[in-house]
Structure 1
Amino acid sequence: MAAPLSGLRVVEVSAFIAAPIGGMTLAQLGADVIRIDPIGGNIDYRRWPLSPEGTSLYWTGLNKAKRSVALALNRPEGQEIARALICAPDEKGGEDAGILLTNLPASGWMSHAALSAHRPDLIMLRLIGNPDGSGAVDYTVNSAAGFPTATGRGEEPVNHVLPAWDIAAGLYLATGLLSAERTRRRDGRGQEVVLSLADVAFASVANLGYVADVQVNGAVRPPMGNELYGAFGRDFPTADGRRVMIVAISNRQWRAIGKVTGLAEKLAMIGPMLDVNLDEEGGRYEARHAIAAVLAPWFARHPLAEIARLFEGSGILWGPYQDFGQLVREDPRVSTANPMFAEIDQPGVGRILAPAVPLAFSGTPRPEPTPAPRLGEHSDAVLAEVLGLSAAAIGKLHDAGIVAGPEER
């Protein structure tokens, strides 16, 4: 069966996380995503972590399933080839091509105005930093979004290492691209779609209720460590020095905690003592410290493996704290037992576990994960296939330093 986005061609000119994730998501769903990089690689090409051979595990992780073309983008001849690839029609007349995804400064030859002069129905997805066009990255947006001051246990802000806004922006870019492509199919109109990284973050803050909480209640969420805001949830140390997170949102989950631990009667006493309703999320949140005091000794007496055995099938929401090593070595969800994962041979890295797209479609088999390309691996094939250039013409471009093939390590 054809993959969901089979036949769609997207040209990506990007760096770092957001746009590459958007492009990779489309590629893993079957789109032909052609990533164009300058010869030698863009600014993200050797970003840490690296394999022993010096290959970026970061770059290869974010560019799976794409095709790679390396061009001298600092020269007019390379820019002209990139423009031709972006604006070239597909074999059916152009409906599935003429799409550019970028998070780089789109000026000069790569501006929407310049490109749409060659292809009026061009679709261009462009990620910027702030809504006014000034620069921003995930770290600078996150610092202003309020979450670091609500993270941790004290007054000092704590940044998380997850680039949440980059990831969310990448998925917004993919969604926006498909929306624009659907619009073009309906009325033939191309367009430029601009997404601000800051807008992604601040929309999320508002969607989660934190903006309204300030406006309506005058409340600013304080740092609470690992406690769950508005319900009962927190971490507990175990007998063997591990930690687990436990959450009770529904009454069923709350009752399951009391049943499995044998502490239902003691927990029930907390409500009348503190004059709170433990059948409501808010009541359990207000009584969180008393609840934790009752539960903590139970977790301290049980090792992680025993907790896992007791909790299995109980309806309790819980999870162990794991570092990346424990995640890879111990968690079956990050293994070939999970159909999303398979082992691939990644050039410059070796044999590794890699995920396909997390989506599972009932009418389409989940595709196997595909390695990221070597830089310039598909230069010749793409120029021949999309632009119809002969081998002799491509050879001349190589000789002139306009095009580069796969980098050999």
Structure 2
Amino acid sequence: MAGPLSGYRILDLSRAIAGPYGAMILGDLGAEVIKIEPPGGELSRLFPGPSHEGESFYYLAFNRNKKAITLDLGTDTGREAFYDLVAISDVVWDNFRYGVMERLGADYQTISKINPKIISCSISGYGTTGPYVNRPSVDVVVQGIAGTLSTTGEPGGRPLKPGFPAADILGGLFGVIAVIAALAQRERTGEGKRIDVELLGSMMSAMAYEFSYYLCSGIVPGPMGSGHLALLPYGVYKCKEGYITLGPTWPRLAKVIGADWMIDDPRFIKGAERLKHREEFNQAIEEHLAKAPAEDWLELFHVEDIIAGPIHTIEKTVADPQVKARNMILNLPHPLGGEVKLVGNPIKMEGIKENEYSAPPTQGQHNDEILKGLLNYSDEKLAKLRDEEKKHAQKLLARLEKTSMDAALRILQKESQREAEQQGD
């Protein structure tokens, strides 16, 4: 596909959100992204909820513009195929927990011996250093540690998560930035690189002004609803009917809503004073907004160039004329039939052809194209690879059954011991 990253090949071992999202953006920008899944498929394919032809909405959201193959890196032939791809690729991309890539034999130390120019980008909850390095993580846990949840919600309410997986999305984007930078440096030096991106640091970086506020003042920011630490007016305001959002267009806003008296009120003249009297200020604004419904105010505000907007549902956002004008909802032909609708890429750049975007691939859709076409594997070699996969899967299943049986026996032994102790009493 055309684009500024055309000619670069990315091996995407990631799953869920952070990794797949970032790899998708690289694909949008023109890179050839080969999604490598285990024979059972990437876990997000199995998530419950809406689907298109059996493909989960969750998987569909983060996996367009990729080619999909299945490889079992737990087998010798699977690793061999992976290493053959490493030799002719530019980036290995993953979001496994710390230590998993080493166990798979896919870590930078190993793959750089195969291809010294390879770039390895690993996205994880806490990176590769520090006391939390071996902890499991998910988006909401990282946001809790990053301080995000403590600053989200209404004052006095319980901590809240933003309405989207912010840490995962940001981790994916920081990974994209790092990979593009590493590719640019490699053009000059010819050297590969290992990239370590953590979700915790990504979240903190995005909260730079909250942390700066604390580091400069010693005051710990708390939840402010939709408000702003340093700007007023700012946030969600109630009207006679419905709500609107307002930005800091002051004092012009006062004149437009008929609150001229606020302009000369000593509590509201300067920004610092408005912040000290935040509650009184917002209450006064809402008293004036209560004279008309949100729709009427927005019509007037747009004429008067006041920073303001509606509060859409997802449905209304999809139908918004601005969204349509920017082609932010894509209709992509799906390999199983019909069209799948996806959110587009906000980057509009000459050379990026959105009409060439491809729908998220089905599991193993490009096995022949990559393994037979790109690697020139024979039918016999492919048969051996798949045979080893089946044998490995049978071993894993037997091990799981034994583990389950052992666990059940331990539970029964404990129950028997407890009953014996009770009878003894």
TM-score tier, shorter chain, comes to: 0.7 to 0.9
Aligned counterpart for 2:199 among listed residues 192, 197, 200: 197
Aligned counterpart for 2:185 among listed residues 183, 186, 206: 183
> What is the CA distance between 1:353 and its match in structure 2?
3.1
DSSP 3-state at the match of 1:294? helix
> What is the CA distance between 1:5 and its match in structure 2?
0.9
User: Per-residue CA shift, 1:54-76, capped at 9, x if unaligned?
Assistant: 42111111001111011233322
> What is the CA distance between 1:190 and its match in structure 2?
1.2
Greater mean alpha carbon deviation, residues 12-21 or residues 75-84: 75-84
Q: Tell me whether 1:331 sits opposite 2:320 in the alignment.
A: yes
From the two aligned structures, give the one with the greater helix fraction. Answer: 2
Contact 1:149 1:222 in 2 (8 A): yes
Aligned counterpart for 2:111 among listed residues 111, 115, 124: 115
Identity of aligned residues (%): 26
**In the aligned structure 2, how far is the partner of 1:349 from the partner of 1:284?**
57
**In the aligned structure 1, how far is the partner of 2:278 from the partner of 2:353?**
42
**In the aligned structure 2, how far is the partner of 1:349 from the partner of 1:266?**
62
Q: Tell me whether 1:295 sits opposite 2:285 in the alignment.
A: yes
Q: Tell me whether 1:98 sits opposite 2:90 in the alignment.
A: yes
Contact 1:341 1:353 in 2 (8 A): yes
> What is the CA distance between 1:2 and its match in structure 2?
4.0
Report the aligned-residue RMSD: 2.5
Question: Could you say which residue in structure 2 is the equivalent of 1:228?
Answer: 228
DSSP 3-state at the match of 1:72? coil
> What is the CA distance between 1:347 and its match in structure 2?
4.7
Q: Any unmatched runs of 5+ in structure 1? A: 90-96, 403-409
Question: Could you say which residue in structure 1 is the equivalent of 2:366?
Answer: 378
User: Per-residue CA shift, 1:33-55, capped at 9, x if unaligned?
Assistant: 00100112122222243327542
**In the aligned structure 1, how far is the partner of 2:384 from the partner of 2:145?**
50
Question: Could you say which residue in structure 2 is the equivalent of 1:39?
Answer: 39
> What is the CA distance between 1:348 and its match in structure 2?
5.7
Moved over 6 A (4+): none
**In the aligned structure 2, how far is the partner of 1:220 from the partner of 1:305?**
37
Contact 2:17 2:168 in 1 (8 A): yes
**In the aligned structure 2, how far is the partner of 1:146 from the partner of 1:112?**
32
> What is the CA distance between 1:186 and its match in structure 2?
1.1
Q: Which amino acid aligns with 2:7?
A: G
DSSP 3-state at the match of 1:220? coil
Normalising by the residue count of structure 2, what TM-score does the alignment of the two structures yield? 0.82
Q: Tell me whether 1:267 sits opposite 2:262 in the alignment.
A: yes
Greater Cα radius of gyration, structure 1 or 2: 2
DSSP 3-state at the match of 1:389? coil
Q: Any unmatched runs of 5+ in structure 2? A: 391-425
Question: Could you say which residue in structure 2 is the equivalent of 1:321?
Answer: 311
Contact 2:263 2:269 in 1 (8 A): no
**In the aligned structure 1, how far is the partner of 2:343 from the partner of 2:211?**
35
> What is the CA distance between 1:354 and its match in structure 2?
2.4
User: Per-residue CA shift, 1:100-152, capped at 9, x if unaligned?
Assistant: 01112211311212212222222111112224322322211111122212222
DSSP 3-state at the match of 1:45? helix
**In the aligned structure 2, how far is the partner of 1:355 from the partner of 1:317?**
25
307 and 353 in structure 1: CA distance in 2 versus 1, 3 angstrom threshold: farther
User: Per-residue CA shift, 1:9-47, capped at 9, x if unaligned?
Assistant: 111101111111111111001100001001121222222
